């Protein structure tokens, strides 16, 4: 039994013990009252014992019966409360398990999406499957109700979002910038890095009508549907954008202020940069001071 369960059990028992103690005090008080009123003859004359019994029964029985009734009600109340507490704990455990399951499955789904697209392929079937898995994973993420797992899922989304951004962009070693994939890529052609008019690319991948004889000895060649499905592209690239209701934790970070001269150690370069970039702006090769109100 857990510590909380032991404390709860002691708490319930203490209430019943309190009722028993009250009953005991009432009986002792009744005896004391009788002795004080009628003297100690009861201890000397056995004939008075019947009288004493009638007095004690008539005095204490109604009270003890009432206390017994209270004890029964209290026991019922305690049993009901224990049932509710147990049900609440069970519901909380079930909710936690469901959220954990949804989080783990959503995480696996997002990682699978990245694995399918990380090699920068432009295969139509792969992109359709990746888009479907992405949408299913995000639906699972929305089903998470436990706050801790919600936070963990959002962190996973941000991680995969960044990795997909790197996978679906082209690094230019000359400018050190990352450029978007060209439109030719999404038409599914192999030489997508060659700049050509999109009209020509569309014609190149257009379907042709071929007539084949049907034979039991061989299969009929299938049409080569090359371009990516537009909705699969939209689903993937919508995910790359941060949602409109994104709660950026950077908003809570306070500025360092203007006292960069007192910076030491690892902060020196960073504080000088922050001060300079927040007090100046460069446009067209010229530097202008920022008017800070």
Q: Where are the domains of the chain?
A: 3-101
Q: What is the pLDDT of residue 105?
A: 97
Q: What is the pLDDT of residue 226?
A: 80
**Could you give the CA distance from residue 162 to residue 155 in angstroms, rounded to a whole number?**
11
**Could you give the CA distance from residue 246 to residue 237 in angstroms, rounded to a whole number?**
17
Helix (H, G, I), strand (E, B) or coil at 281: strand
- Alpha-carbon distances of 293 from 99, 279, 290, rounded to whole Å: 47, 11, 9
Residue with the larger pLDDT of the pair 256 and 213: 256
Alpha helices in the chain (DSSP H): 3-38, 48-117, 124-142, 147-167, 198-204, 230-240, 267-279
Q: What is the pLDDT of residue 36?
A: 61
Cβ–Cβ contacts within 10 Å for residue 269, how many?
Answer: 9
Torsion of CA 207, 211, 217, 223, to 10 degrees: 10
**Could you give the CA distance from residue 7 to residue 18 in angstroms, rounded to a whole number?**
16
Q: What is the pLDDT of residue 19?
A: 62
Output the six-digit token pair for 187. Answer: 């038409």
The pLDDT-based confidence of 170 (bands split at 50, 70, 90) is very high
pLDDT digit string, tens, across residues 253-265: 998 888 888 888 8
pLDDT digit string, tens, across residues 79-116: 777 667 777 777 778 889 999 999 999 999 999 999 99
pLDDT digit string, tens, across residues 8-36: 555 556 666 676 666 666 666 666 655 56
The pLDDT-based confidence of 75 (bands split at 50, 70, 90) is confident
- Sign of the torsion angle spanned by Cα atoms 72, 73, 76, 77: negative
Q: Report if pTM > 0.85.
A: no
């Amino acid at each position: 039994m857990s510590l909380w369960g032991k404390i709860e059990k002691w708490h319930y028992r203490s209430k019943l013990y309190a009722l028993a103690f009250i009953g005991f005090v009432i009986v002792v008080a009744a005896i004391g009252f009788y002795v004080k009123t009628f003297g100690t003859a009861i201890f000397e004359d056995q004939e008075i014992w019947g009288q004493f019994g009638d007095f004690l029964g008539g005095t204490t029985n109604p009270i003890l019966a009432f206390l017994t009734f209270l004890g029964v009600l209290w026991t019922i109340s305690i049993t009901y409360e224990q049932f509710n507490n147990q049900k609440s704990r069970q519901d909380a455990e079930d909710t936690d398990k469901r959220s954990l399951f949804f989080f783990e499955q959503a995480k696996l789904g997002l990682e699978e999406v990245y694995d399918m697209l990380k090699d920068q392929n432009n295969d139509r079937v792969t992109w359709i499957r990746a888009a479907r898995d992405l949408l299913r994973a995000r639906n699972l993420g929305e089903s998470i109700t436990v706050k801790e797992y919600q936070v963990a899922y959002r962190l996973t989304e941000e991680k995969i979002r960044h990795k997909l951004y790197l996978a679906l962009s082209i690094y230019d070693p000359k400018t050190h910038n990352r450029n978007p994939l060209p439109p030719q890529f999404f038409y599914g052609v192999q030489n997508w890095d060659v700049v050509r008019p999109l009209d020509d690319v569309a014609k190149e991948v257009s379907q042709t009508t071929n007539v084949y004889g049907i034979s039991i000895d061989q299969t009929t060649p299938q049409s080569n549907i090359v371009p990516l499905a537009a909705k699969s592209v939209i689903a993937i690239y919508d995910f790359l954008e941060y949602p409109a209701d994104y709660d950026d934790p950077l908003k809570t970070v306070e500025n360092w202020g203007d006292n960069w001269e007192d910076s030491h150690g690892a902060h020196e370069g960073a504080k000088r940069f922050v001060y300079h970039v927040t007090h100046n702006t460069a446009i067209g090769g010229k530097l202008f001071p920022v008017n800070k109100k």
